[in-house]
Amino acid sequence: MNDDGAMLDHVSLQCADVAASASFYDAVLAPLGGARVMDFGEAIGYGVPPMPDFWIGAQTTGEGFRETHVAFAAPNRAAVRAFHETAVARGVEVLHEPRLWPEYHPNYYGVFVRDPDGNNVEAVCHSPE
C-alpha cells in the first residue's frame, strides 16, 4: 500500500489507436474530475494533478484483444449520469445504463460502457443520492 492507503498506484491499458482512446478518455473523465496530467504522445496519463493513476498507450505486446474492466470513482450520482451522457454523445456502446447495483451494496450506483478498444469502462459512486 502507498502513503494514502490505496493499494494501486496506477493502471495502464494498451490501445490500438491512442488518439481515438485519448479523445474518448478526455471526454468521459472530465465529468468525474479527471484530466490529462501527463502526455508523452504514445503514453498519456490521466488523474487528478499532480500525478496520473490511469494510463493509456500504444499496444506494444501481445496478440489480439482481451477485455479489461476499469472502474472510475465518481464524486456523486450526477457525475455518473454525466459520464454516461458524454459517452453516449461519443457514440460508444452502453453495456448497462446508470442504475443502482444492490447486489454489490445498497448505494452502488454505476454505468458501464465500451471504450474505443472494447474495454468495459465504468463510472461508479458509492454514496447515497
Residue 112, C-beta contacts closer than 8 angstroms, at least 6 positions apart: 94, 95, 96, 120, 121, 122
Residue 6, C-beta contacts closer than 8 angstroms, at least 6 positions apart: none
Helix (H, G, I), strand (E, B) or coil at 62: coil
Per-residue b/e over 21-33, b at no fewer than 16 CB within 10 Å?
Answer: bbebbeebbebbe
Domain locations in the chain as residue ranges: 11-58+67-125
Name the DSSP letter for residue 92. P
pTM for the whole thing?
Answer: 0.90
Range list of H helices, the chain = 18-29, 77-89
- pLDDT tens-digit series, residues 22-81: 999 999 999 999 999 999 988 999 998 888 999 999 998 888 778 899 999 999 999 999
Does the pLDDT of residue 1 top 80, yes or no? no
pLDDT at 4: 64
- pLDDT tens-digit series, residues 69-109: 999 999 999 999 999 999 999 999 999 999 999 999 999 99
Burial of residue 85, with CB atoms counted within 10 A of its CB: 0-12 exposed, 13-18 middle, 19 or more buried: middle
Decide which of 3.30.70.2190, 3.10.180.10, 3.40.50.720, 3.40.50.2300 is the CATH code for 11-58+67-125: 3.10.180.10
